[in-house]
Structure 1
Amino acid sequence: MFRLISTSDFVRVQKIYQNSVLKLAPSLYSPEQVMAWSLFPNNIQKFYSFVFNPDTYVIENKEEIIGFCGLEKDGHIASLYVDPSYNRQGYGTKLLQYVLEQGIKAKINRFYTEASFFSHPVFLRCGFVVLEMETVKYGVVSFQRYKMEKEIIE
């Protein structure tokens, strides 16, 4: 059900990212924000680095990739996206929990991320706390997101 991403998965994760933003973000973000955010996978070089520089894990359902989550060596959760047709079925939580387990096995004791308005509840369910809100820009469009962390206490 979980595995590391392979290069043959690239197009599928591009679609998951783009579909997730286009279908889920309009309820929480402006049309300009949705458009700016959804165009990121079109920058092949940057999106490739976004997906393959961290250890990115995919979750499959019946051999179809339905989500992905990236973990950097320093504990940064770089991505968490689930295909919108599988939204609100627990797959995002299961995927994040699996990735956290992999990090704990690698002796990471602090995880951190920048969560969107729609991924924020998943991180809360997995024990992350909000540190602060931050504003970032995609091109000329500004976004607010949650800076969050989870510390592992032995």
Structure 2
Amino acid sequence: MFRLAIEQDFETIREIYTYTVKKLAPSLYSPSQVIAWSSFPDNISKFHDFIFNANTYLLLKNNQIIGFCGLENDGHIASFYLHPDFTRQGYGTKLLLYVLDIGIKKGITRFYTEASFFSQPVFSRCGFTIFAMETVNYGDISFERYKMEIITQQENYS
């Protein structure tokens, strides 16, 4: 089941974000990168804007939030996180395809994102291609990530 995030979901979303980064990132990122990345939700105001300045869709299983994906009006996928207990089971693909379908129905024809090393395979499976690498900073810690996009033809992805 999918639905839009509401204020009452904020703490759960923060927990999923932090836990996901702490659990999955150590296999691909340095300890200092994991600490910097996982601490982003500690800035309540910025994290709130990150979630609610986009249309953030939740994936629920047994009425529990297991993932979220934020879509901005210009086609930017602002967030994409799945609780680690549900990775590699097709849930991430279902969530991303659901959000793409909503965007297509709104007339968006180009979707783009900045994907981490561990989210890039899901974006690729859903048709995104890498068009650049970029380096970003969380404080004084730098990260590389993939800039990815998909151009659609108003087709239905669900």
- TM-score, normalization by structure 1: 0.99
Aligned to 1:92: 92
* Runs of 4+ residues over 2 Å off in structure 1: none
Alignment of 1:5-154 (within 5 A): 5-154=5-154
Give the partner amino acid of 1:145. Answer: R
Q: Secondary structure at the match of 2:67?
A: strand
Alpha-carbon RMSD across the aligned residues, in angstroms, is 0.6
Give the partner amino acid of 1:108. Answer: I
Query: What do the CA deviations read for 1:55-92 (whole angstroms, capped 9, x no partner)?
Result: 00000000000000000000000000001111111111
Q: Secondary structure at the match of 2:33?
A: helix
CA distance in 2, matches of 1:29, 1:117: 9
Gap runs ≥5 in structure 1: none
* Alignment length (residue pairs): 154
Shift of 1:7: 0.6
Shift of 1:153: 2.4
Gap runs ≥5 in structure 2: none
Query: What do the CA deviations read for 1:88-112 (whole angstroms, capped 9, x no partner)?
Result: 1111110000000000000000000
- TM-score, normalization by structure 2: 0.96
> In percent, how many aligned pairs have the same letter?
62
CA distance in 2, matches of 1:119, 1:56: 17
